[in-house]
Amino acid sequence: MQYIRYPEKSTWNSILQRPAFDTRDLESRVAAILDDVKANGDAAIRKYALQFDKAELNELSISEAQFEAAAAQVSEELKAAIQQAKSNIETFHKRQAEATTVVETMPGVQCWRRATAIEKVGLYIPGGSAPLFSTILMLGIPAKLAGCKEIVLCSPAGKGGIHPAILYTAQLVGITRVFGIGGVQAIGAMAYGTESVPRVYKIFGPGNQYVTCAKQLVSKAGLAIDMPAGPSEVAVLADDTCVPDFVAADLLSQAEHGPDSQVVLVTTSEKVITDVKAAVEKQLAELPRRDIAEKALGNSKLLLVQSLDEAMELLNAYAPEHLIVACADDEAIADRVVNAGSVFLGNYSPESAGDYASGTNHTLPTNGYATAYSGVSLDSFVKKITFQRLSHEGLQQLGPFIETMAAAEGLDAHKLAVTVRLKAINN
């Protein structure tokens, strides 16, 4: 990790730059696969499954027998953990539902808004080096709570099929339309539909640079996606009350996601940096995913700043996906957070809690998009439709204002739509 003492504000943008990779060839390669899936459907999916995942797919969809076999392979301990996480996530997301409220803006003019579920949604669940069954909870639960009629889940089958924990979790949540399809071809299948895979209206879920690029390309063509995404990241703000071993573990937990992940420590204490750096080196040596974490640490920073004010200004400029506040005044500091995906307060709130089981959602904006985007929530799976009803009295009171405004814009038919009604009321 690069240690930078008292960086000048003029250097913040370059210091906090996320890892970048050359995308010049990526888009053309991804677009070619998407076009092939659009044109050739299941045949293209089978071809790319063999090419990229070394899997021969006879049936793309998962059968009831496969769900049952997968459940038998998952330990009772893991099942209990997943069930507890499910309960917590349901509890938190249920509270996000909004009641329909009718607002009378003036006598006889009523307006209201109703949340309506997106009918068809697609969930992409990575299944490579880290089978992210936890993401099914984060996406499937709010989709179910919202009332989405059709939920399609794609996850790479590989040589041994879909990971049992993925199938168990899908079934637990109530998702039965599961397909053993991974990568760009999965995004294409859900975006365009094939003989086996239904077309959806919005796609959710993380993935590697190819999956991310595919989501961005189908989004450009008009399909909705959850949010722009990049590699995973965490920033930690720590003072002398932090526990260096805890901070180190939090940094490494994010670094092990992938070689293009980034972790950042910001503090006003040189001792914190010294102690955390030593703890990182010690813990890193024992990690099974050490090689991945080491590469991510090469993208990462230890930043010593002059004051808490400067630290908060820097962190809000960075807009991290995850922000951990390991400080004595964590709640007061939390009030100053403007840009972050999810915030973890105190020494006993590891980022892993949000990743798995506390109840909040772990599908969050990365790459600085937390300046404008929220993480996935119940709202992500609904549309808000507005309604209005005007009575005779309401139109009589409001109509003249509408006529005046429409005339001023030169939209005579708009004015006429009111005028003919007012004449009918007054006759």
Q: Which domain holds residue 417?
A: 391-426
Q: Which of 93, 163, 233, 321 is catalytic?
A: 321
Whole-Å CA distances, 6 to 102, 138, 284, 308? 54, 38, 26, 12
Is residue 8 in some structural domain?
Answer: no
Task: Verify that 292 and 308 share a domain, yes or no.
Answer: yes
Q: Is 124 annotated as a binding residue?
A: yes
Is residue 301 in some structural domain?
Answer: yes
For 381-415, the pLDDT digits (tens) are 999 999 999 999 999 999 999 999 999 999 999 99
Contact 34, 188 (CB under 8 A): yes
Q: What is the pLDDT of residue 56?
A: 87
Task: Verify that 215 and 314 share a domain, yes or no.
Answer: no
Q: Which carries the bigger pLDDT value, residue 81 or residue 228?
A: 81
Q: What is the pLDDT of residue 208?
A: 87
Interval 63-70 mean pLDDT: 95
Task: Verify that 281 and 184 share a domain, yes or no.
Answer: no
| Counted domains in the chain | 3
Beta strand pairing call for 103-106 and 109-117? antiparallel
Task: Verify that 188 and 68 share a domain, yes or no.
Answer: yes
Task: Verify that 275 and 253 share a domain, yes or no.
Answer: yes
Q: Show which of 225, 245, 265 is a domain's final residue.
A: 225
Q: Which carries the bigger pLDDT value, residue 128 or residue 264?
A: 264
Q: Which of 233, 322, 351, 362 is catalytic?
A: 322
- Flag whether the pTM goes above 0.85: yes
Task: Verify that 273 and 135 share a domain, yes or no.
Answer: no
User: What are the beta bridge partners of residue 387?
Assistant: 112
Is residue 322 in some structural domain?
Answer: yes
Task: Give the integer Cα–Cα distance in Å for 25 and 65.
Answer: 41
Task: Give the integer Cα–Cα distance in Å for 218 and 190.
Answer: 10
Task: Verify that 134 and 208 share a domain, yes or no.
Answer: yes
Q: Is 321 a catalytic residue?
A: yes
Q: Is 257 annotated as a binding residue?
A: yes
User: Scanning the structure block, which residue is given the tokens 């309506």?
Assistant: 116
Is residue 12 in some structural domain?
Answer: no
For 93-128, the pLDDT digits (tens) are 999 999 999 999 999 999 999 999 999 999 999 987
Q: What is the pLDDT of residue 8?
A: 96
Q: Is 409 annotated as a binding residue?
A: yes
Task: Verify that 248 and 311 share a domain, yes or no.
Answer: yes
Q: Is 232 annotated as a binding residue?
A: yes
Is residue 384 in some structural domain?
Answer: no
Q: What is the pLDDT of residue 19?
A: 83
Q: What is the pLDDT of residue 53?
A: 85
CATH number of the domain to which 151 belongs: 3.40.50.1980
Q: Is 93 annotated as a binding residue?
A: no
Lowest mean pLDDT among 20-34, 251-265, 266-280, 307-321: 20-34
Q: Is the pLDDT of residue 22 over 80?
A: no
Q: Is 322 a catalytic residue?
A: yes
Q: Show which of 203, 225, 247 is a domain's final residue.
A: 225
Q: Show which of 225, 246, 277 is a domain's final residue.
A: 225
Q: What is the pLDDT of residue 55?
A: 85
Task: Verify that 154 and 169 share a domain, yes or no.
Answer: yes
Q: Is 185 annotated as a binding residue?
A: yes
Q: Is the pLDDT of residue 23 over 80?
A: no
Question: Which residues, in sequence order, are CB contacts of 413 under 8 Å at separation 6+?
Answer: none
Would you state the torsion angle of the CA atoms of residues 152, 351, 79, 118, taken in this order, to the nearest 10 degrees?
-20
